[in-house]
Amino acid sequence: MSFLLHKWQKYFNWIKKFPLIISSLALFILIYEFGFESSFIKSKIVSQFYIVTIVVGIIFIIGRYINKKNKPRLKVLIIDVILIIFLLFQVFNLLNILKGNYYLFRYQGVFTFLAIFIVFIRELFVVSVNLKYFTVNPAQLFVTSFLSLIIFGSLLLLLPNATHEGIEVIDALFTSTSAVCVTGLIVVDTGSYFTIFGQFVILFLIQAGGLGIMTYASYFGYFFKGGASYETQLLLSDFTGTNKLGDVLKTLKRILLITFILEAIGAILIFYSIDEMDSYLFSERLFFSVFHSISGFCNAGFSTLENSFYELPFRFNYSLHLIIAGLIILGGIGFPIVFNLLKYLKIKTINIVKSIFQKKENVHVPWIININTRIVLVTTFVLILFGFVMFFILEYDNTLSEHGLYGKIVASFFGSVTTRTAGFNTVDTSILNIPMVMVFLFLMWVGASPGSTGGGIKTSTFAIAVLNFVSMAKGKQRIEILKREISQVSVNRASAIMILSILVIFISIFGINMFDSDKGLLSIFFEVVSAHSTVGLSRGITASLSNPSKFILILTMFVGRVSMLTLLIAIFRKTNIYNYHYPKDDVLIN
């Protein structure tokens, strides 16, 4: 009897995985059709298979609510109802196509892909994975996820229908790495070289890489299961920077929610600001808006325009420049800072309401804006102001000469913001004055803030280094600011990040100069810093680099995105902590 029960349990486990298996096969066929075939639906058999896949997905979603043992939580019900409605709608749409009614939707392939992808994702994240046999630390998981996404993206870009005339392996790998690492450096023009399918692939890679593939996987896995294991929460706590395990998944939820809301608002604002595209189709303007909103918020710097926003007539669309600059700042300031500010605004609003209705003059406001937020905000403001002033003064009669006073102000502000890991440009960076190039190099090296979609050594790292210099000059043995003391761990980490960053940049410059010395040391220096800090600005030498130099830049972008310190942590396992100390001694430094 127990043997039969064991057999039945084994078959039942396979049945539960059937939707995942069939949706995986359907996705493979879809990718094949998108990548190799010119038409979307080649035969009735393929269409019928898609219908079966979607129907199976619907049945299993409903079945989980009938099964009392593994019944999902009620908060998942609303999402599942929306998914089921969309999936049923797509089944109806495919049935009409089988009857010959192809006029229902112009982009039928996109809708079918979304339906199959929903079924795949829904089933993927309800599969239980036992983590107790895996001995990976968060750094290894983080690095592996990015590396896997880069390889997967490269394979998609190598598909025949991803480009108009084909692409070399090194160029596909370079583009995929640049998109996943939200760098923006390109070896081929995104708008003219890649098809709509190829551009959708790049957009997917930017979004997944900007937030981190593990953020998506972890949150949706928790959401559809209704919970997460203790081991999973420990892994996620390192990614989100939260100390309390109970706040980890809540933070992931907020990250995704804020990202999608801001990107949607950005896309709407961009759509109504691009008067230059009035003659274009609605779908083309919509795709342009969505693409640049995601690319801007993720600090990617990818554009479907050949010369980014330096392209005429977008060069003088100052409202568009300000919208993109706003997205860059919001994406680069860091999610912990955004959460902290939202919490402050919430409590401040509640206190104002209480003071009005309850007539309380003195309402206590607790310490909400923490030291991390204060350091990041001040450093970000100082860097933007510094870049703006230097750009306005140094480039007034050079790259800004074609703009009026208002245009000069906007272009200077945009140049200061985009240099901090975004990579869009409204001026010709190849003719910048040498002093401004040096300012750009400094701003690119510092980059965005921790916990953001941007790169660089991060604003807080730079701020701690400066504070450390000041403290040492004053003869202090610790860093104190705003009645708080910076921990020694933070100081050590900041020092390590800066030293490793300089080391990686030096090695990359040395390597590229060996293969492409004719490009000039300054241009190579600019290119390497841009790649390491995932900026994407270039002096126009990227496409003409040799294959070995391109591969060095690929490694530089990857190391810059995951950070050299994270790679070292992933390689070297943490040593045991022992409860003893050796005698301390001073080493001569100066």
How do residues 479-536 score in pLDDT, each as one tens digit?
A: 878 777 888 888 888 888 899 999 999 999 999 999 988 888 888 999 999 999 888 8
Give the helix/strand (H/E) hosting 484.
strand 484-485
Q: For 590, which DSSP code?
A: -
Residue 199: partners with Cβ closer than 8 Å, 6 or more residues away: 190, 191, 287, 291, 304
CB 400 within 8 A of CB 408: yes
Share of the chain above pLDDT 90, in %: 19
Domain residue spans of the chain = 2-124, 133-312
Higher pLDDT, 567 or 106: 567
| Secondary structure tally for the chain: helices H, strands E | 23, 2
pLDDT of residue 137: 63
Lowest mean pLDDT segment, chosen from 15-24, 133-142, 371-380, 434-443: 133-142
Provide Rg for the chain, Cα atoms: 26
Is 9 a residue whose pLDDT tops 70?
A: no
**CA–CA separation, 444 and 438 (whole Å):** 10
**Residue 288 reports pLDDT greater than 80:** yes
Has residue 42 got a pLDDT over 80?
no
Element (H, E) at 97: helix 74-98
- Orientation of helix 488-515 relative to helix 564-571, angle to 10°: 100
Burial class (CB in 10 A: 0-12, 13-18, 19+), 256: middle
What is the SS3 assignment for 354? helix
H or E stretch at 481: strand 480-481
- pLDDT tens across 54-75, in order? 888 888 877 777 765 655 566 6
What is the pLDDT, as a whole number, of residue 266? 92
Q: Where are the alpha helices (DSSP H) in 70-195?
A: 74-98, 108-124, 138-157, 169-180, 190-193
With 0.85 as the threshold, say if the pTM is over it. Answer: no
Whole-angstrom Cα distance, residue 339 to residue 342?
5
End-to-end Cα separation, the chain, in angstroms: 80
Tens-place pLDDT, residues 80-128: 788 888 888 888 877 777 766 554 444 566 677 778 888 887 777 666 5
Distance CA 570, CA 137 (A): 7
pLDDT at 392: 93
C-beta atoms surrounding 53 within 10 Å:
26
- 388 with 416: CB under 8 angstroms? yes
Contact assessment for residue 451 and residue 241, using Cβ atoms and an 8 Å cutoff: yes
Q: Which of 209-213, 352-356, 498-502 has the highest mean pLDDT?
A: 498-502
Residue found under tokens 């950005």: 266
Which of 266-280, 323-337, 382-396 has the highest average model confidence (pLDDT)?
382-396
432 pLDDT more than 50: yes
Tokens 């109970």, residue located: 246
Distance CA 179, CA 205 (A): 6
Place of tokens 């998914």: 83
Q: How confident is the model at residue 8, as a pLDDT?
A: 47
Percent of the chain scoring above 70 in pLDDT: 78
Please tell me the distance from the alpha carbon of residue 498 to that of residue 116, in angstroms, as a whole number: 45
Largest CA distance in the chain: 89
